[in-house]
Amino acid sequence: MVDAVFKHYPKFFRVYQDLYFLVIFFKRYVNPKAIYVVFTQFSVITVNCRNKGVNMENIRKEFESLVYQGIRSHGLDELSSRLLAILYSEPDALTLEELSEITGYSFSAVSTAMKMLSGVGLVDKTKKAGSKKLYFSIQRDMLEMTIAAIKSKNECMVLPALRGLPAIIEKCKNSKDEESEETLKIIDQYYQQMLALDLIFKNLIEFTEKVQKEMGKV
């Protein structure tokens, strides 16, 4: 049963719950050791969310910090990572002025970072009726983002290799060069790895889509 805390903060809890379900999925099917700490921290936040005496602002900050760590680990700079984490944990869209105030960075720095993030499709920007200000938000469907990321990786790295390697392997087989045998082994090994990744990605996409459908029924 949804308790009084969830009723009072429904938007925030839905944001957190989506990411929590994704972590459960990867914990079970991908690499348990790699995300053990994150999963443990999410479990603590879950308990805190259910505790009516816990300050929800503190919980939101804990969650924001956790999202920041995950984003930062992918190589984004500190400001961009903070901006994405803030947008993910905030229920409503935010302006550049609000983001500048929250982060403590200058308006100019935040504006430059948001221009980059929106340019690569990581954040959405809209205008509200009667206002000239831009409002920024982030895609919160983590399963959809995961599926898109896997498809992108497959299309950019794996599929081009699968299309081009057979011809390269054939040329190598027909070569009379003394080093052709060793080169063929290296190329063929890479080709086999790409075949394996293609199968893994397809199965992962299929399974993630099934999980997404099941979550939609809840």
Q: pLDDT per residue over 137-173, tens digit each?
A: 987 776 776 777 788 778 888 999 999 999 999 998 8
Sorted by sequence, the CB contacts under 8 Å of residue 16 that are 6+ apart come out as: 45, 49, 63
* Residue reference for tokens 């790295």: 157
Residue 65 confidence (pLDDT) above 90 = no
Q: Tell me which of 49 and 105 has the higher pLDDT.
A: 105
Q: How much of the chain, in percent, has pLDDT values that exceed 90?
A: 29
Residue 55 confidence (pLDDT) above 90 = no
Residue 1 confidence (pLDDT) above 70 = no
Q: Specify the DSSP class assigned to residue 154.
A: I
Q: Are 83 and 110 in contact (CB under 8 A)?
A: yes
88's tokens: 């993910």
Q: What is the mean pLDDT of residues 169-189?
A: 88
Q: What is the mean pLDDT of the chain?
A: 76
* Residue reference for tokens 């060793």: 182
Residue 27 confidence (pLDDT) above 70 = no
3-state secondary structure at position 2: coil
- The string of pLDDT tens digits covering residues 186-204 is 999 999 999 999 999 888 8
What distance in Å separates the CA atoms of residue 65 and residue 129, rounded to the nearest whole number? Answer: 32
Q: Tell me how crowded residue 96 is: count the other CB atoms within 10 A of its CB.
A: 19
Residue 14 confidence (pLDDT) above 60 = no
User: Among 88, 113, 112, 87, which residue's Cα sits nearest to residue 98?
Assistant: 87
Residue 183 confidence (pLDDT) above 80 = yes
Q: Are 187 and 169 in contact (CB under 8 A)?
A: yes
Residue 74 confidence (pLDDT) above 70 = no
What distance in Å separates the CA atoms of residue 24 and residue 30, rounded to the nearest whole number? Answer: 10
Confidence class for position 185, pLDDT limits 50, 70, 90: very high
Q: Tell me which of 158 and 66 has the higher pLDDT.
A: 158
What's the pLDDT score for residue 98? Answer: 95
Q: Please, where are the H alpha helices in the chain?
A: 4-8, 10-29, 36-50, 56-72, 78-89, 96-103, 107-119, 142-153, 159-174, 180-217
pTM (predicted TM-score): 0.53
